[in-house]
Structure 1
Amino acid sequence: MTDGFEASVHSWDLSTGVDGPGTRFVLFLSGCPLRCLYCQNPDTWHMRDGHRRRLDAIMEDVELYRRFLQVARGGVTASGGEPLLQSEFVTEFFRAAQAWELSTALDTSGHLGIRADEELLSVTDLVLLDIKSYDPRTYRRLTGKEVAPTLAFAERLASVGQRMWIRFVLVPGVTDDAENVDGIARFAATLGPAVERVEILPFHRLGQHKYDALRMPFPLADTEPPDDALIKRVTAQFAAQWLPVMVA
């Protein structure tokens, strides 16, 4: 089942509680069409910078932790970069993981949601969907792209009952406008029970050293993380729409 499939891979890691339920084997794929101002992984932007790896070799890595992941009620997460750039590979990766009774999670911006066909969604247990902004101008300033494909993808996921965690990165002075937050909250509320929770991710500068290593300026080097008052206000805005919300 894994013969012949390979991908451009940046790295992999084990995480608990932040990339889906339980303990996860997180595969970071290379390549991304967005250029988010707060991106913590600029080293994953280009597929050419990744390492070509076969799926059977990746599954050998997963197998080392297979029993632990099962006991921890976890599984595998495809992240990036943007995993939907390599959607066919993700489909086979998830198929192989489910054969081992491991849950699957797709961490995506949704910008390339059109590439998530029925076959891929059939082997996807959970979508971690980053809605970076609701206001089109803010989204364009933040990512260089349009928000419409992400919103359309969210609506398609909801229409087929696909489980989702909506993720929102809270950046002071960029995404924190009250009307923008209300827009995301109201939109998420229309998606119904498919949205299991909303995760607020407070901005941080922990990835700045990667920009330094690449000799690139970090666009938000002078931006401070959100304070408790701002986090409380934004949390209340999502809760006002009867959404289950947490700060990650």
Structure 2
Amino acid sequence: MTTTGSLHSWEVSTGVDGPGTRFVAFLAGCPLRCQFCHSPDTWYRRGGHPVTADDLVLSVRRYERFIKVAGGGVTLSGGEPLLQPAFTREVLSRCHEMRLHTALDTSGFLGDRADDELLSAVDLVLLDIKSGDPATYRKVTRTGRLGPTIRFAHRLAEKGISIWVRFVLVPGLTDDPANVDAVAAIAERVPTVERVEVLPFHRMGAPKYEALGLPFPLAGTQPPAVATIERVRGQFHDHGLAVF
């Protein structure tokens, strides 16, 4: 019997959610409340609509040939897909059976919910490390702890699963040199980390907060300066990491 999940939306995109052209499904629901979140409309499962794994995989099949020719695959994102582990497991497993490259975009905060069967269907994890300093991590996420993400990263490495680390650079929040070095130290100790993506903070999600009647925590924060971005990229590079 197929499982049912809560899906916010899906799209076909290139270059931002894993290699090649990808079918990206955004699942609804997330336990974190990151100050820089640009998708507050994905925080709650009720913000999505019910969809069976059968139906979502059928949507993927419509693009299967195109995705394969374009060297892409399927990415489950969110929200937080590990908030719906059974649904995530079934969708990724069935896509894997179709010989599609699979990616999981997660904070790792709920990594313990990903059982071995789920991880056996994952080719790549896009691991969002919000901060390398535990106190800053709590400030950024308002509800989260750094430990589960680190534990999940090492578990992925033990299984030989490739990791792309993502780090959102926010002036006055995550840009402290010591915090950046702490993220880099976490990444360099995980042997299957292939690259680090430094993602400059942007304010494109602000209209969503306004539409939902929510205050945007970083309304007064500007995107990082080019010099700051280059300094942070350099810090990761100095730890021997490939930086994008």
Shorter-chain TM-score bucket reads over 0.9
What amino acid sits opposite 1:74 in the alignment? G
One of 111, 118, 121 as aligned partner of 1:120: 118
Q: Which amino acid aligns with 1:34?
A: L
Aligned to 1:136: 134
Alignment partners' CA distance in 2, 1:64 and 1:212: 35
Residue 155 of structure 1 corresponds to which residue in structure 2? 154
Using the TM superposition, give the Cα deviation of residue 94 of structure 1 relative to its aligned residue in structure 2, in angstroms.
Answer: 0.9
TM-score norm. by structure 1 comes to: 0.96
Query: 1:225 aligns to what?
Result: 223
Using the alignment, how far apart are the partners of 1:172 and 1:15 within structure 2? 28
- Identity rate of aligned residues, in percent? 58
- Residue 48 of structure 1 and its aligned partner are, at CA, apart by 1.6
State yes or no: 1:195 paired with 2:203: no
Q: Corresponding residue for 1:39?
A: 37
Q: How much does 1:8 deviate?
A: 0.5
Partner of 1:30: 28
Structure 1 residue ranges without an equivalent (≥5): none
Structure 1 match to 2:108 = 110
Alignment correspondent of 1:174: 173
CA displacement 1:35-89 (0-9 Å, x = unmatched):
0001011011111221001111112211221110010111110000000011111
Cα distance in structure 1, aligned partners of 2:157 and 2:80: 21
Structure 1 residue 4 displacement after superposition: 2.2
The alpha carbon displacement at 1:231 in A equals 0.5
Residue 4 of structure 2 aligns to which amino acid in structure 1?
E
Secondary structure in 2 aligned to 1:13?
strand
Q: Aligned letter for 2:168?
A: V
Residues 103-128 of structure 1: CA deviation (Å, up to 9, x unaligned): 10000000000011110110000000
Partner-residue secondary structure (3-state), 1:19: coil
CA distance in 2, matches of 1:213, 1:58: 28
The amino acid that maps onto 1:42 is: P
Distance 1:30 1:11 in 2: 8
Quote how far apart the aligned CAs of 1:166 are.
0.5
Residue 160 of structure 1, CA deviation? 2.1
User: Structure 2: which amino acid aligns with 1:162?
Assistant: I
Once residues 28 and 187 of structure 1 are traced to their aligned partners in structure 2, the CA distance between those partners, rounded to angstroms, is: 27
Amino acid in structure 2 at the alignment position of 1:201: L
1:73-112 matched pairs, under 5 angstroms:
73-112=71-110
- CA drift of 1:159 comes to 2.2
Q: Matched residues in 2 for 1:228 and 1:174: separation?
A: 17
SS in 2 for 1:206: coil
Per-residue displacement from partner, 1:195-236 (whole Å, max 9, x unpaired)? 111000000000111001101110001100011100000000
- Distance in 2 (CA, whole Å) between partners of 1:186 and 1:30 is 31
In structure 2, what is the Cα distance between the partners aligned to 1:156 and 1:61?
Answer: 31
One-letter amino acid of the counterpart of residue 227, structure 1: A
Q: 2:40 and 2:23 mapped to 1: Cα distance?
A: 21
Shift of 1:17: 1.0
Q: Partner of 1:70 in structure 2? A: 68
User: Where has structure 1 moved over 3 Å in runs of 4 or more?
Assistant: none
Q: Name the SS for the 2:84 alignment partner.
A: helix
Please name the residue that 2:3 is paired with: 5
Structure 2 gaps, min length 5: none
TM-score (norm 2): 0.98
Partners of 1:229 and 1:196 in 2: CA distance: 24
> One-letter code of the match for 1:133?
S
Alpha-carbon displacement from aligned partner over 1:150-171 (angstroms, at most 9, x marks no partner): 1111121122221100000000
Match 1:205 to one of 196, 203, 212: 203
Three-state SS of the structure 2 residue aligned to 1:180 is helix
